[in-house]
């Protein structure tokens, strides 16, 4: 069996092209490994849960008997303390959960500290 003389340069060109394609794809093309895709999906899911639950927490916090005074006190506190204040109040504890979610409490505290803008 005769192998053509130009086979070796063609194979090296194909290997080099594949390497360059992989480098460009992972660097600038947006390609990711399966592990990175799972991490990104988990982070996105976590962000979606926090985004969905923080308004519920804020509404429950505002609905308490002295809600306006509590929101005013929360707004005066530092941004570092707001999550802990909401966690201690118990309003970051969602029905069916056994523990409060610190990310939800932090987002809820920031939401409460931001003044409501009336819809027009």
- In this structure, is residue 69 part of a structural domain? yes
- In this structure, is residue 36 part of a structural domain? no
pLDDT of residue 97: 86
Domains contained in the chain, number:
1
Q: Higher model confidence: residue 103 or residue 119?
A: 103
- In this structure, is residue 73 part of a structural domain? yes
Per-residue pLDDT at 41 exceeds 90: yes
The stretch 20-34 carries a mean pLDDT of 92
Cα end-to-end span (Å), the chain: 82
- In this structure, is residue 13 part of a structural domain? no
Percent of the chain with pLDDT over 90: 62
pLDDT of residue 83: 92
Q: DSSP labels for the chain?
A: -PPPTTHHHHHHHHHHHHHHHHHHHHHTS----HHHHHHHHHHHHHHHHHHHHHHHHHHHHHTSTTHHHHHHHHHHS-HHHHHHHHHHHTTT--TT-SS--HHHHHHHHHHHHSPPPPP-
pLDDT of residue 118: 67
Instruction: Compute the distance between CA of residue 108 and CA of residue 112 in angstroms, rounded to an integer.
Output: 6
- In this structure, is residue 23 part of a structural domain? no
Q: DSSP labels for 5-24?
A: TTHHHHHHHHHHHHHHHHHH
- In this structure, is residue 105 part of a structural domain? yes
Per-residue pLDDT at 119 exceeds 80: no
- In this structure, is residue 119 part of a structural domain? no
Per-residue pLDDT at 47 exceeds 90: yes
- In this structure, is residue 12 part of a structural domain? no
Instruction: Compute the distance between CA of residue 13 and CA of residue 19 in angstroms, rounded to an integer.
Output: 10
Q: Structural domain of residue 87, as residue ranges?
A: 41-114
Percent of the chain with pLDDT over 70: 95
Per-residue pLDDT at 120 exceeds 80: no
What does the block give as tokens for 5? 């003389």
Closest CA to 108 of 58, 50, 59: 58
The answer, as to whether pTM is greater than 0.75, is no
**pLDDT confidence band for 67 (50 / 70 / 90):** confident
Per-residue pLDDT at 52 exceeds 70: yes
């Amino acid at each position: 069996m005769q192998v053509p003389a130009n086979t070796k340069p063609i194979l090296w060109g194909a290997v080099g092209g594949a390497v360059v394609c992989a480098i460009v794809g992972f660097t600038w093309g947006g390609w990711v490994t399966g592990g990175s895709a799972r991490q990104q999906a988990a982070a996105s899911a976590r962000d979606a849960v926090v985004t969905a639950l923080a308004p519920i927490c804020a509404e429950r916090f505002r609905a308490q008997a002295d809600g306006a005074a509590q929101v005013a006190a929360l707004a005066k506190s530092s941004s570092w303390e707001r999550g802990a204040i909401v966690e201690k109040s118990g309003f970051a504890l969602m029905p069916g959960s056994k523990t409060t979610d610190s990310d939800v409490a932090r987002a809820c505290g920031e939401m409460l500290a931001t003044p409501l803008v009336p819809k027009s």
